[in-house]
Chain A
Amino acid sequence: MSILRDPLIPMVALVTDIRTDTPDVKTFRVVGLDGKKPMEHIPGQCAMLSMPGVGEALFSITSSPTNADYLEFSIKKCGCVTNWLHAIEPGQQVTLRGPYGNGFPVDTDFVGKDLLFIAGGIGLAPLRSVINYVRHHRGRYGSVDIVYGARSKEDLVDYDEILQQWCREDGVTVHLTIDNPQPDWDGHVGFVPNYVKELAFDTGKTVVMCGPPVMIKFTLAGLEELGFRRDQVYTTFELKMKCALGKCGRCNIGDKYVCKDGPVFRLDQMAQLPDEY
């Protein structure tokens, strides 16, 4: 019998460009072997990248769907696959499968809303896709606020794009913060949850949040103090994944599979689920 295509079997793709963002984050540009964008996606969706013999890992597609030429992944060095990726050079082939997950409701719930993006560290990766999608379709959405924090100035991902593009755009306000003071930084210093509280945003906004679990927890508490409801807050979850197809049994929170039913959830949906994340 011939080879049946199976969703677990990846395609081969090519890394055409690698940008060093921070000491431990690089952004990889990926195309198909035909030089074209390998797949269409919705902001917030992910794809499995792998190097045979090293392993497979899931990453958010950080480029916007409006980018017609390639996919981008911002990847933090922290283990097997990611160490290997950080050591390669452009011209390297990798394998790719996806896209996976539900993505953000950019064409439904978000339309017409004032959007508040809150990100910590590598958590900007999935949000960058939404932010650039929203910037591309600027007329469909209200105001855009972006709160982004990292340990230090050097740890801010996409710093050039933020300064050169986001900060200069009408209707987009960027609020950057770093954990500790440093000599070449005249911006805000402090943790994301506190900064969000200080900024005392209008509670009519729709919040899109992504970052480490502690940041999500404390920021949510702060938002609720300000008067935000959980049904206004969207976030993504990161759990261990192997199949990304809802079958290997690894990534569930209660009866929801993060790979298939997520990774994007509205926080009021989590009230009915265990806090195993």
Chain B
Amino acid sequence: MPDQLLFAMEVTLNGLMAGVLYSLVALGFVLIFKASGIFNYAQGVMALFAALTLVGIQDGQVPFAHLINAIFGTNVHHFGWHVPAVFAIILTLGVMVLFAIIVERYILKHLVNQEPIILFMATIGLAYFMEGFGDLMWGSDIKKLDIGLPQGLNETLESVTYGWWGYGFFIDNLDIAATIVAAILVITLTLFSQYSKTGRALRAVADDHQAALSVGISLRFIWVIVWSIAGFVALVAGVMWGAKSGVQFSLSLIALKALPVLMLGGFTSIPGAIVGGLIIGVGEKLFEFSIGPMIGGATENWFAYMLALLFLVFRPQGLFGDKIIERV
């Protein structure tokens, strides 16, 4: 096989793996949007917050250490223990569920039947609050996240592909792990929403609030569920991204990667989020590889948005979105 083609294959593979992660972040948005009509601006910060919490718990950090020390004149920073990754993940999940309950109890409950723009503003407020709260709780320094995921070049894949074609693929183990975890999560979420009773309730709420209430579904319960799932998704995304580039503020910007995915896939479609993520992942890598060198590179920053914009012009409802027909 010609080198160019092999290289393109490698790029596509890398793109697919990045894409699964985009899909995952986009799914977090879609779930909340479907169930409550809220575009959750805080999704990215949730990923940051979840990753911060995970690292904090794992390293035995004292939460709110700065605050405690400032008030009581103490000098505590660490408990001096180390929590195994599995427990730390479970505890972090607990924190995210607690977070969902608090959001429902103190924000959403008071905003039922408000205009979408008001709800959107509320999530902007929530995002900034969480960002500050995360800093206060765990400190603002860059943290290293290590939960024992495999890292570095996958040598098996390299030698196998070398053996076949005389060209070794360079694929990072972490990317493979992230892809597998994200794929499992995406599949589980899809199955959950399609086949479980709570999933059916979730779809019912997404479809018609009034009718859902009339068959005995509690909206507040569904909101807690949905925000918990979004928190779960945020944690997974935060872990994968954090393991790559450290846990720091920029992690919250992965939300920006999900935006073009949503434009492409539609805000209400789960398959749309999945396929959209993959298209963007592969698209931006292939574009960088083929056209990038001609126009000075660094196309990955804007390509996704351009693709999404083009898409919007021709299919405003997204890949699988419902066609919007105005009732008159």
Do chains A and B stick together as partners?
Answer: no
Chain A: residues with CB nearer than 8 A to chain B?
Answer: none
Chain B: residues with CB nearer than 8 A to chain A?
Answer: none
